[in-house]
Amino acid sequence: MRKILKRIVIFIAIIIAFVLLTLTIFIFKPPKISVEGIPDGFVEKQANIGEVTLNYVEGPNNGLPLLLIPGQMEFWQGYKLVLPELSKKFHIFVPDLRGHGKSTRTPSHYSYNIIGNDLTRFIAKEIKRPTIVAGLSSGGVLAIWLGAYAPEDVLAIIAEDPPIFSSIWPRIQNEKFMTRNFKLAVDILGKPGKRDVEAYLSAMGAPVKGKAELLMIPRFIVKTMFLLARINLAVHPNNPYDVPFLPFNMRAGFKFLSEYDTDFSRATIDGELSRGFSPEEALRRVKSPMLLLRAEAYRHETWGLIGAIDDEDLKRVISLVPNLRVVQISSGHEIHLVQPQRYIDEVTKFVDNLKNKNKLPRIVL
């Protein structure tokens, strides 16, 4: 009996110690980089460009302008890991696209052509000179759009794992994994009332080679994350997404999933986003130097493309863009979030090489 009581006491002591440690971390040890807040040297602004107002951050004028274009379900905060280093060499602008962050929401009015024109007006009004354009995912498609249809505004293009063919309707209908993820966002996050990010993550899964069933996130892990999130919200209401123990990309992801307009995802899977946009035509029109950063991708026998660019897509891009550099990176889709230093290195190397070849203007500060 004494042994059993002793074990119970030890177990309770361990639980109490864990709770005290967790509370200590919550109260006294904030994360190194918070999801909220503006990086040193940056200013948050709003640009009224007509139909919409775009929220954005601008860095110090330390070089050539660099327009960073977030991907779907991402706000300007997604670039926080790379902003301090990149701002030493560039004059950075990062907008929230319509439907994202603090920018105007326009349900039933999202397309590459519409948003591309938003960015063209943004460059004219806020940047006021040709710029390097760099975007992730759908933001990478928009960087290509700018290079094709606003070439006078573009010095160079950096496309970070853009689904330039795979997300375009009607092909996206055959990319089952991609479509599933967007549909989950519409069906779960798009419900009226309080947004249920916990239910969304519980329904997510990862493909496993050789198996038709997705590998789901264990329920207890999801429950633990959201228990910590609720404690964090109670202790730090001004920093609701900085859940201890979680890496920045996951903490930022909670914010993005909680606050973006899910109609953007609906527009992706029903073809509205890509209506009137031809990736082949856009790529043929690109004459600016272009860097393509390709993350890991493969084809699953059940779920289709896992990633953004398959081997055939890559061949098509190479055949259509004459002044192209391709860098393949062993990384998840959001390279600047999961491998920020590699992203900084590749961007800097690309731009420095263009300067050395006198293909970019040299700025004297």
Check residue 171 and give its pLDDT.
97
Parallel, antiparallel, or unpaired for β 298-300 and 154-160? unpaired
- Residue 62 to residue 176: CA distance in whole angstroms: 44
Phi/psi at 291 (nearest 5 deg)? -110, 125
Q: What angle do CA 258, 261, 267 make, to 5 degrees?
A: 135
253 to 49, 62, 74, 77, 191: CA distances (angstroms): 27, 29, 8, 10, 19
Residue stretches of the chain with pLDDT short of 50: 28, 364-365
Give the DSSP per-residue string, 185-231: IIIIITSSSS--HHHHHHH-EE--TT-SS-EEPPHHHHHHHHHHHHH
- Residue 183 to residue 180: CA distance in whole angstroms: 5
Q: How far is CA 79 from the centre of its chain?
A: 8
Check residue 32 and give its pLDDT.
85
296 to 19, 115, 275, 332, 348: CA distances (angstroms): 39, 27, 27, 6, 21
H-type helices in 260-363, by residue range? 263-269, 279-285, 311-320, 335-338, 340-356
358 to 62, 197, 278, 354: CA distances (angstroms): 19, 48, 31, 6
> What tokens does 92 get?
């950075």
Report the CATH superfamily, name and number, of domain 43-356. Alpha/Beta hydrolase fold, catalytic domain (3.40.50.1820)
- Residue 265 to residue 271: CA distance in whole angstroms: 10
Tell me the β-bridge partners of 300.
304
The structure's pTM equals 0.92
Check residue 364 and give its pLDDT.
42
**Coil/strand/helix, residue 136:** strand
Q: Classify 161 in phi/psi space as left (phi over 0), alpha (psi -120 to 50) or beta.
A: left
Phi/psi at 361 (nearest 5 deg)? -70, 145
**Coil/strand/helix, residue 11:** helix
Q: Are 188 and 196 in contact (CB under 8 A)?
A: yes
Q: Residue with structure tokens 């899964």?
A: 205
Where along the chain do its domains lie? Answer: 43-356
Q: Are 78 and 337 in contact (CB under 8 A)?
A: yes
Q: Which of 348, 342, 317, 338 is nearest to 140 (CA)?
A: 317
Check residue 178 and give its pLDDT.
97
pLDDT tens sequence across 225-276: 999 999 999 999 999 999 988 999 999 999 999 999 999 999 999 999 999 9
- Residue 112 to residue 141: CA distance in whole angstroms: 8
